[in-house]
Amino acid sequence: MCQIIKIFFKRNTFAGNLRAILLHYELEPSLTLNFSTMTKPFILFLFLIAVTISSSFAQKILVLDKYGTKRTRITAGEEIIFRQLNNKTKYHDFISSLRDSTLILGEAKIEFPLNDFDTFYFRRPGIQYVSIGTTFIGGGFMFASAVYPLVGDPAYDQRESFIIGASFLAFSQLIKAFKYKKFKVRKNSRVRILDLTYR
């Protein structure tokens, strides 16, 4: 098995991986297994292994670098939120594939050159959770204020309940302005595609 793994790492294509497996078993004197005696399930198993190893060593990633900040990596299949140069519209899509200097959007089916991007946006999960929580709390206080006349002997003040509810709702809307982390393509930043294919 160790010999098979070593052979795998010397090749990065499906044909090379499958051929390596077959050559190993045919050249090993202690094993009588050969292609003619292989069963279909075993051949399928070899096929899946070869494809998995090939794909794991054949990958391109979109890299966003800015001086003084941590590098951001985006791979094919991930969500991408961005704005183009001279265009204020914010687009939501996912990356279908990456090429040398362009990327292809999955839903729009459009190929974008890297120098056409102005700003990338990344969601801040914490902000989203806080916004949902404060909206829920504010809605509860507003509901309590609305049903105040229907309560026979309320243990709370209607005006206070309204003020608290309105404050939570206003806060939940305010923090939505910070739900995205921005990466602006400027002189101190760089956007490129790296090929991590194992060779």
Structural domain harbouring 48: 2-56
Q: Are strands 180-184 and 117-123 parallel, antiparallel or unpaired?
A: antiparallel
Q: Are residues 114 and 33 in the same domain?
A: no
- Same domain? For 13 and 98 the reply is no
Cα–Cα dist 16/8, whole Å: 8
Q: What is the pLDDT of residue 121?
A: 92
Specify whether 21 is located in the same domain as 102: no
Residue 120 pLDDT: 92
Closest CA to 124 of 182, 70, 179: 179
The neighbouring-strand residues paired with 66 are: 189
| 33 lies in the same domain as 112 | no
Q: Please check whether residues 111 and 151 belong to one and the same domain.
A: no
* Cα dihedral 142, 146, 151, 154 sign: positive
**pTM greater than the 0.75 cutoff:** no
- 115 and 148 together in one domain: no
Residues 111 and 191 in one domain: yes
Which residues does 37 contact at the CB level (< 8 Å), separation at least 6?
Answer: none
Whether the Cβ atoms of residue 178 and residue 125 lie closer than 8 Å to each other: no
**Structural domains counted in the chain:** 3
pLDDT by position in tens, the chain (length 199)? 444 444 444 444 444 445 545 444 444 444 444 444 556 566 666 656 655 554 455 588 899 998 878 888 988 889 999 998 888 888 899 998 898 888 989 888 888 898 889 999 998 888 888 888 999 898 888 888 888 777 755 677 778 888 888 898 999 888 888 888 888 888 888 888 888 775 5
Bridge partners (DSSP) of residue 180 are 123
At position 152, the amino acid (one-letter code) is: G
